[in-house]
Structure 1
């Protein structure tokens, strides 16, 4: 299968640490759709929209954002990043993404995850103590909806369905459903057992930190009778493609550091990111994809070999990065990095 390169965003509403400005939710929504449009125009493969239910994000309804993106793009795949499935209704998730699939002529994807942010559970009346079981049961229902219609289904935490007609259906044969895993080995094993595509994510740390998870995933897939070599594997990491290695780091750092400080208070405190820690993440063995096009190209190829990836998604513009700088990085990714990566793989 062809190697894919994409971008994602959470749509954060963050004060710019350089200018002191604070964009409005309206600006961030419009900028997000513009981001998808430019990513499509420069030839990237995937655009992902995160889900968060707080006033410092504009991604509380990612399916609506992706539907808007469907109308302004032509070929790029449109994915949730991720759908917090434990606090969602799988019937409604399917209906929304099947509608996006129809709008976009078959470009919708669902990345279903447990979610590291848990504010959506009390908002929608779920008990966080049922966190893991909610995800397992709802993933089972979502997969069942994809495979059959009408559907009869029974679970413990949701009302049963009897000969339920759930529409629309996919534009083509199916809608890809990935499982988002942040590094929990048990989650990787379960995903492999089910034979589902795996979407890994690294927020910070060394680039090899999830190698154990990918090995467990592939072993579990093989033990369950799946061909692990044919299963798609994606990795999401933070990054920025600059005009030079130094310009990339100087541009990304203040905004990424503000993102880490302002948007992690659901864990009880902000996360201070000193410059030396950021530089370590941007180094040869770190997980950030930040640098000039050649540096980013080389690191993508190392990630691909290390994990056996079929896709990499770069979380760009974290925090409050000015739109001009962000779009310039996306253009470099699509017109310089992606062609270089594909040429290296074709030559190999």
Structure 2
């Protein structure tokens, strides 16, 4: 099928490109500049232009940002919407996080309804941030649980509060759109926690790495000799499993209208450090000699069975994910 992939230069999207091409789909990805578009194309030198190309979308927070991007000949049949900001450094929560996430999501859905009637399914990258309630965990986290955060709390909290709010409010807006507008397409949302695994997109520099992988970059660069920070979110997924989940969400009719918690299970930062020491003895001197091990008992339970049953995901283990990540960081100069 012909697929539009938003946020093409992002960590997750780069892997989505690989799996879409492996599945013999033709892909048009969005980027903010020709420079980024050409860099991604250069990573796939043997793929023809009718199989892989790009369009420019400069600002996803503009209401009409995707008006032209959704038009295609031949027309699109599915959309993967991965474009959304992910960082905890917002100085203006509304401008930096809430608007791009919410307007970007509703904007593309409006554009598809108006200009791309052939699109039958849309898969949207949401987040475990739209599920988790840091103020009181339920008995089990699954797709039926929603973070209770409000717009006011999102605007007046710290950077991580604003981020959690942006993901929850954007996902709610997507489901509300489908319910009210009754478009020709169905949606699925994917809610990953910490996303680890190899970097395949072209990095300008190691400072631009995705937020989830920053810990590993800092570890192997010797920036944590004094010890490890507490594990931010204790469940994780490898980026390749997440990308597979996105592609299968548009390939499998039974994924339509469903929300998915995408996680391989729990982990701790100390496990990550142990894996690096074991597999990269030459990096041992960069890592802290001693570090505290956080309690092995998880503070909450989670249920990832829907992702296994509907999407057929067989999750990768932490050792492979971290080992491949470190190798990829080394390849770009870490």
TM-score range, shorter chain: 0.3 to 0.5
Normalising by structure 2, what TM-score? 0.34
- The answer to which structure has the higher helix fraction is 1
Normalising by structure 1, what TM-score? 0.33
